[in-house]
Chain A
Amino acid sequence: MNRDWADIWGGLALGLLGAGVAIYAGLRLDFGSLRAMGPGFFPTVLGVALAVLGAAVALPAWNRAAESPKIAWGDASAVIGAILIFGFGMNRLGILLACFAAVLIASLPAPHDGWRWRILLAASVTLLCWAVFILGLRMSIPVFPKLP
């Protein structure tokens, strides 16, 4: 069935998140009164509002036809992988190795074949990165891998 899945899933996720927020804030945080609102007042009200809005997005979408967008999982995982490798690797691998690896991984989903340009790109971005952030801005990140 060709329903508006983007709105159904989006509305459902937001609605559940809102309900969760309202329940968590209602149980864990002091609600207070209208006169002296506690830390739980705003989150509880907002959580309920988000739950209602999520339902308002998802329900009408059930009877509406729409083209579902294609999620590029491959592109997303390459980008996220590159960020995580760089973020968690730079203090252990050093900025040069982490940057080279991250650029290589990030370039994987690019719609252009060949390895030479990927390696050249990784090398030049690494060089640029070292020049700007280590030479120029003097950030205190290890340059080379830490030997055990």
Chain B
Amino acid sequence: MTAWEGLAHGFGVALQADVLIYCLLGVTLGTFIGVLPGIGAMAAISLLLPITFYISPEAALVMLAGVYYGAQYGGAVASILLRLPGTPQSAVTTLDGYPMARQGRAGVALFVSMVSSFAGSMLGIVVLVVLAGWLSQVATAFRAADYAAMMVLGLVAASTIGSDRPAKAFAMVTLGLILGCVGTDVNSGAQRFTFGQSELMDGINLVALAMGLFGVAEVIGNIRNAERHAAPERVTFRQMMPTRDDLRRMPGATLRGTGLGSFFGALPGTGSTLSSFLSYALERRIARHPERFGNGAVEGVAGPEAANNAAAITAFVPTLTLGIPGDPIMALMLGALVIHGIQPGPEMLTARPDMFWGLVVSFGIGNLLLLILNLPLIGIWVSMLRIPFRFLYPAILIFVCLGVYSVRGSAFDIATVAVVGVVGYLLALARFSPALLLLGFVLGPLIETNLRRAMLISRGDPMVFLERPIACGFVIASAALILLSIWRRRIAADSH
């Protein structure tokens, strides 16, 4: 199937009434969640996971993806108006977005962030189509050893890049891998860590784990902090008109941000937060007057916003073509697909073209919806920031409980949410990343299966990981990342 045929096919799927409605629902909810500081896309997606049982897998994935990239749009609003990042990806937008708002140019900053987000997403879709087509052909040569090595690389990259204490990151990944072992062992049927609980025989419930770690833990952590901000000023559509100078500065920054975002989004383990920071650093480095940055430079908003949206789109490349989620949000997406009995892999593009191309086209439609809805409706989103958190979080908790309960009618799962919620809160407080735990949890069973298969085929010879060129490449890259992070810490220690 050529790309054009695929796109035509995708329009057929994405323009179905129910898929369209779930797309609209996803992006609206995503923007809402993104606008509100204190609840992220992870919490929203885990809240919606149970609903996806009742709808088609296409509609489910389209909706969850919509929440993800919708939150990237919404995240910028609180960053610009209140200097409170609505999502971690938009943290860097506060650096120049907030100064712009202080200068009375909040509307322009919002306009720039939305248009750059849109451009980044649209170009990201093109990169997604090209990369996915290429990778799904390369990946047919992948064997068990290569998959295991690649997933390990993903975990190593996620733990070392952008983490100030790699030991803590690795500990979280390992804890996730251990939690992924709970349940019935697929090969032998042995019970692992179930302690006689029949509810644990299928493993720890992904929905309960995700909701506890993100929904409940974020609520506990934000009860006191989320209401400390002042009410934002009103923004009207009219104030959003950029000046000619703004328009001249935007396109270059947007394009460079898109390039960075598309590249780092597609790599496993790096993701959109990193790419927005890199884009900001790049813009400041190449600027003729770097002192403008931090004082309301348009490029400081345009670049990072384009980067995080492009990364949000290309993050789907490894998820859909290899079945390997590059970041925790993709891990949840993969979880949603597996719930529907779909195991993504290199055959996905040919075996489930409706799924892949439907999703690609829905990205385009969803981003267009976001642009045409958000520009005129910006006033409504800004007023959302006036809702006190104390009115929201009790309702979130009730929705969490009913959402978990609806999966299989088990009160055990609700108790799991409560326990995981406290543990997740304590972990986040001590700056252990719960997102890495979830990544390990989802990848764990996949790594174990592929590792056992690879060792069986190689008759117990671990050298298989160095003899196969693909696996060897991943092993070398993982080792290099670990060495690099040790070296960087040594330099940091010396400079003190």
Interface residues of A (CB under 8 A from B): 6-7, 9-11, 14, 17-18, 21, 24-25, 29-30, 33-39, 41-43, 46-47, 49-50, 53-54, 56-57, 69, 71-72, 75-76, 79-80, 82-84, 86-88, 90-91, 99, 102-103, 106-107, 109-112, 121-122, 125, 128-129, 133, 137, 139, 141
Q: Tell me if A79 and B452 are in contact (CB < 8 A).
A: no
Q: Tell me if B175 and A14 are in contact (CB < 8 A).
A: yes
**Beyond A37-B451, A47-B178: 18 further Cβ-contacts under 8 Å?**
A10-B432, A11-B171, A34-B460, A35-B460, A36-B456, A37-B452, A43-B181, A49-B174, A72-B220, A83-B417, A86-B398, A87-B418, A88-B415, A102-B394, A110-B390, A125-B398, A128-B395, A137-B406
Q: Complex Cα distance A129/B400, Å?
A: 12
Q: Complex Cα distance A57/B406, Å?
A: 39
Bitwise, B428-457 to A at CB < 8 A (1) or not (0) is 011110000000000000001001100110
Binds A, one of B10-18, B64-72, B132-140, B188-196: B188-196
Give min CB distance, B447 to chain A, whole Å: 8
CB < 8 Å neighbour of B224 from A47, A69, A111, A129: A111
Q: Residue on B with the closest CB to A22? A: B178
Q: Complex Cα distance A106/B185, Å?
A: 39
Q: Tell me if B430 and A7 are in contact (CB < 8 A).
A: yes
Chain A-chain B contacts (Cβ-Cβ < 8 Å), number? 175
Give min CB distance, B458 to chain A, whole Å: 8
Contacts of A71 in B (CB 8 A): 426, 429
Q: Tell me if A122 and B394 are in contact (CB < 8 A).
A: yes
Q: Tell me if A83 and B171 are in contact (CB < 8 A).
A: no
Binds A, one of B38-46, B162-170, B355-363: B162-170
- Chain A interface main SS type: helix
Q: Tell me if A112 and B451 are in contact (CB < 8 A).
A: no
Q: Residue on A with the closest CB to B459? A: A35
Q: Residue on B with the closest CB to A25? A: B192
Q: Tell me if B167 and A103 are in contact (CB < 8 A).
A: no
Contact-size category for B: 35 or more
Bitwise, B175-190 to A at CB < 8 A (1) or not (0) is 1011001000101101
Contacts of B431 in A (CB 8 A): 6
Q: Complex Cα distance A133/B404, Å?
A: 13
Q: A21-B178, A129-B398 are in contact. Are A34 and B171 (CB under 8 A)?
A: no
Q: Residue on B with the closest CB to A15? A: B171
Q: Complex Cα distance A103/B362, Å?
A: 37
Q: Residue on A with the closest CB to B219? A: A79
CB < 8 Å neighbour of B415 from A18, A84, A128: A84
The answer to the question of B425 belonging to the interface, with a C-beta cut-off of 8 Å to chain A, is yes
Q: Complex Cα distance A53/B193, Å?
A: 21
